[in-house]
Structure 1
Amino acid sequence: MVMSDTEKFFEQIISHLPISILVFDSSLKVVFVNENFLEKTRLKLDAVMGRGPEAIFPPVLLKYSRLPGLLKKVVQEGKGIPGQEMVYRAPGIPYRVYYYSLNPLKGIKGMDNVMLLMEDITEQTRLREEVRKTERHLASVVESANDIVVSLDSYGTITTWNTAGEKITGFSALEVIGRHITTLCTPRDAEEMRQVLQSAAQPGKVEHLEVEITTKGGTKIAVAWGFSSMRSEAGTLVGLVGIGRDLTETKQLQAQLIHSAKLASLGVLAGGIAHELRNPLGISSAAAQIFMERPDDPQLLKECAQKIHTGINRASEIIEGLLKFARPSTRYNEPTDINKILEETLTLIGKQLSTQQITVHTDLSPSLPLINADGKLLKQVFLNIIVNAYNAMPRGGLLWIKTEVEKGGRPWFLVVTFRDNGAGIPKEHIDKIFDPFFTTMPLGKGTGLGLAICYGIVKEHGGEIRVASNEGEGSTFTVLLPITK
């Protein structure tokens, strides 16, 4: 039969479609095959036309796909079979994966035909398997992590929760999935976390914060969080991912280091404190001696008793101040008067400074606002800086201490400046002085922890600590603490 131009035109289209097409007649012999199938299988036209599936496809594929039986079923029932996968492997040909379907066709003069459509999905299958491997690998990494790894929807609701999250908080995935992540925080931290999540949802933003969360057992633990957004290929926000690190051990170690630094500072304070105690005790002792020698003078007895009482109270105040400084303390922020903290610090070390002929000039702003801070920790910061100045001026010198408010940006900062005219810091040491265990003191004279602890405490308060120095001219330490409205 001679084909018309239209038939030839459509045959060319079908022959060049990017899928393989075979048409079988009712006896399951091939009556049409397109170029794509011949290219993929490397078969000649005469090796396919008029042949059955057993002569075209490898036996393993026929057994696996049950293709002959399916072809017969379509011929008999006249119903198509939806897509399925088959793997085609022939000698000398790399294996291919096909997605195929069988569809009934009405042939010439009512003869039944079956069209086999085969789409090569080898590359898609390979990519899909690569994605699965990557997903399994990432899931394994997340589950083996020591930190909490959590994913959130765009509203902050928890959608996944890893094993570390269960171990650290005591909450299983079933107990937290569907809850808003702020429900794990203490009430005072929940609003701050909401603001951080809102900021982290912006493209390219990574936000960090430290909050207290309440475990299933009711214990409060500090967790350092980092949040960033997850986006689709189109750049649309699909959620957020958060990583939370349990700071329990870090906080305990930090507290131990701070306490060790306090005890180290006591060595510097000891001489001054001994002198401070000697004065009130000496006055009390002298008054008691007079009391015993002249017991018949009521007015003198009253004066002696008053001096003894005053001396004992002064000694008690000195000892109490020393104990408050030396004993371990937990972090507790409250409205704090920085000028008062500085005055208490100078009371502790003032005598030692004067003994070494160091004169202190203070310029404390009377209009300083209170800031939300831990006064005990800031006292440790100020003492460490003053002790550094003390060590830098072994033959005496001047120490200026100033407080003021810096209003140049947001937030405003409360600024505390310590300036001395001591030995100064060599240029090569400036970048190292806040490193743990770095010290220029002789062996056994310093731990190298003082300024490192200062740096950590100030950073925990959201502030900064800066240093400027010229060797032989002195140093200036500046502590900036944020003022929260």
Structure 2
Amino acid sequence: MGRVLYAFNSERLWLTAIGVTTCITILVTFVSLTEGFTIVFPHLFYLPIILTAYRYPRTGIPYAVLLGVLYLLMVAAFTQATLTILAAAAIRTVIFIAIAGVVSLLSGALQREELKYRTMFEHTGAATAVFRADGTIAMVNGEFVRLLASPAADLIGRPWQTILSPEDRKRFGPATEGLANGTFEIRLTRKDGTPLDVVATSGKTPYTGIMVFSCVDITEKKRTEEANLFLASIVESSDAIVTGQDLDGTIISWNHGAEKNTGYTAVEVIGQPSSLLVPPGRESEIAMILGKIRAGEHIDHFETVRVRKDGSHFDAYLIVSPIRTVGGEIVGASSITRDITEQKQAEENLKEANEEANLYLDIMAHDINNANTVSMGYAEYFTEVLEGSEREFAHKLLSSVKKSVEIIDNVSTIRRLRQESATLRPVSLDDVIREEIRHFSGTNIAYEGCSVRVMADDLLSEVFTNLFGNAVKFAGSDVRIGIGVSEEDDATVSISVDDTGPGIADEDKPGIFTRFQRGKSKKSGKGLGLFIARMLVERYGGSIHAEDRVPGSPGKGARIVFTLRRVP
């Protein structure tokens, strides 16, 4: 497959030609000698001798000796062999051998040269082909076969245009006139239709019109160049400050975003130290960053301050990465710097607004709770002294005040959850449950006790406060609540709280723990209770979901099941 193919390179054809000319020569010699001719016909022996010596240099002389001896024997056998005739035949035999020697010598030298150039052709490292003057492919080397992914037999004899891509076929004519001597880029097509970008070199031999065509695959190089151009366009169009520095901190690249944000042009900064952008007092940052880069480390979101050309400062964060060669050697650093002045100001404004909102919330909670305390006192008094419908109104007033207290408590709990990080510690689950049961002394709550400790904090009681309160709110004071505790494994405990209330419809169960999500009960409320319960359970590393108290019967009560991490 890989060797050079020639149109006239058949051993069988050569052997046939030598055999046929030898037989004809012997036959003509026999006829001529028997007819008395001894002068012209011996020249026929030159044909098989020259053919043999040319094709097989080492065999040429022995074959000439063989034919010469045969000729002498035939002269002696079929003529009146006088001394003159035999001497002439002997001289011709010597000439046969001499001609064979000369041809063998020249042919051997020619074949050695051919082998040398054939080896060079085959192992040049480039895909090489020879085109005839009419544009057909005469020969190809192994690299050309590999590159085109097509057998040599399929390439030889084809018009050279058939290996070009459709767009390049229009650039070149059917013959080789369109191929100029020199180097150029061209796109070939493999046998399977895959395009192939190559750098080609062509040269035409004088007088013959034969063209030598060599090419090197640059498909991957082109893809890499295109990818690099794409990345470069992204970098250039980025509004961030994207720069490159060598390991000494000298700026070697500068994008449009850098010019826009700092006021420096690329001409002004390339070749300058990167400390140009560093305000006084922060010079040590450059040494620290370059030290990490030399060690192969990446720097992510390093907040700092940078200075513009006009001297103004701006808050910034940096992302810095090593630049490596193909061999992995670190030769520099690429950095992305973003101006976060507006972001920092927005964060500061948000912080101030949050602090102000918390202040208002504290004032509101304090003042409203004070007002609620007074209102609850009056409402409780009226429920005791009034009768009939007036007493009923007093109970409604008391219920509304309690609802106001509940809302404020829930908001305060949510604020604590948002602001305070969880510091978990071992907590007695039994103590927490019993304390909450005492707060609901007027409610029928069944609980057998447990000896489990869980990882939680002082907000764990709020889970049970909200679950118990939710059951009472939706089922009334006659509700029966059951609490179950089971140890799922060495690391997890499961707690269930069920009630005999109206239950939770199946379609409501997935979203019941979402803020402001409520079931289809007409009872008032913003749905914060179960939302807070979910926040707390997840804060402790557990999960929570709703079930039916009686499986398959949503209307016979709900069961809330949640897990907590158990203390071994």
TM-score using structure 1 length = 0.43
Bigger proportion of residues as strand: 1
Higher relative contact order (Cα pairs below 8 Å, separated by 6+ residues): 1
Bigger proportion of residues as helix: 2
Please say which structure displays the higher CA radius of gyration.
2
